[in-house]
Amino acid sequence: MNVQVLISAVVRQVTVLIAQLATSGGARAPLAQVANQVFLELAAELENQGVGRKVSADMFGMALRTYQRKVQRLTESTTVEGQSLWQAIFDFLSQKKVATRAQIMKRFHRDDEAIVRGVLHDLTESSLVFRSGSAENTVYRVATEEELGLLAEADASTGVDALVWATVYREGPVTRGGLMKMVALRPPELDAALDRLLADGRIQRETRLDGDLYHTREFLVPLAAGVGWEAATVCATELSACCAWGMAPGMEKNG
């Protein structure tokens, strides 16, 4: 049996079914979270079947560190329901302004400590959160808009996108004019960043008579792979996940 042919056939059938369900009765069901959800479920199922993380990462076409980061970013917080652990920790730091590692661990005591530490590490690596001190006395704070602006200067496209995305997440729904006042970018730079973020699905635009509004329900820290990594991996995630869905009920796997 040609596994790739079977996968392609299953993907075609499942995508048709999803599209029909999402639009049945004139509805337009939101699908933004589908890729993230199925990625996590498929990753968990592979682990349950004894597949190591290195092998799972290879199956998704990712480096091991990239795979681990994606799992960490998308894992829903046990402490804060309905939010990824990344979002929950970032929001907590934004509200607290300054927090020690001990305070963060206490706040997210229901979540796996290793994953919380991993999220904190990646947030600081991204320069979206700064830290000082050591051990449990380490202090964390969210980068200011001015500091994110320096990030934009250091790396033109990646930095600008991170700055605009973070601002939309924090301040949205927000108009283009509102963003212009907050991020201090030239109009062409802002428009180009908005176009990239919209194209990747990282932000959404709501068209109104009095002006478009930009908003986002997620804020995912950009990885070292650069702008476009998220969009590039979503397609592979959806295909793999759809295959898993299609094979789940009553189908036997070879090998």
Domain parsing of the chain, residue ranges: 1-24+32-76+226-255, 145-215
Q: The pTM is what? A: 0.48
Q: If pLDDT is split at 50, 70 and 90, which confidence band does 63 have?
A: confident
- Residue 134 structure tokens: 């050591």
- Which residues are paired to 76 by β-bridges? 84
Kindly state the average pLDDT of the residues 62-88: 79
Note the pLDDT of residue 235. 32
Note the pLDDT of residue 194. 92
User: Which fold is adopted by the domain 145-215?
Assistant: Arc Repressor Mutant, subunit A (1.10.10)
Which residue did the predictor score with more confidence, 75 or 109?
Answer: 109
Note the pLDDT of residue 85. 84
> Rounded to whole angstroms, how far apart are CA atoms 120 and 90?
9
Question: Could you tell me what percent of the chain has a pLDDT over 90?
Answer: 8
Q: Read off the pLDDT of residues 122-164 as tens digits, 9 standing for 90 and up.
A: 788 777 788 998 877 899 998 887 776 666 565 556 667 877 8
Mean of pLDDT over the chain: 76
Contacts by 107-114, CB closer than 8 A, 24 or more apart:
107/79, 108/77, 108/79, 108/80, 109/79, 110/78, 110/79, 111/77, 111/78, 111/79, 111/85
Note the pLDDT of residue 124. 84
Q: If pLDDT is split at 50, 70 and 90, which confidence band does 35 have?
A: confident
- Residue 22 structure tokens: 């999402």
Note the pLDDT of residue 159. 66
Kindly state the average pLDDT of the residues 47-60: 87
> Rounded to whole angstroms, how far apart are CA atoms 103 and 91?
14
Least confident of 13-27, 147-161, 237-251: 237-251
Residue 119, CA distances (Å) to 130, 147, 149 in order: 13, 20, 22
Note the pLDDT of residue 237. 39
| Cβ neighbours, 10 Å, residue 228 | 15
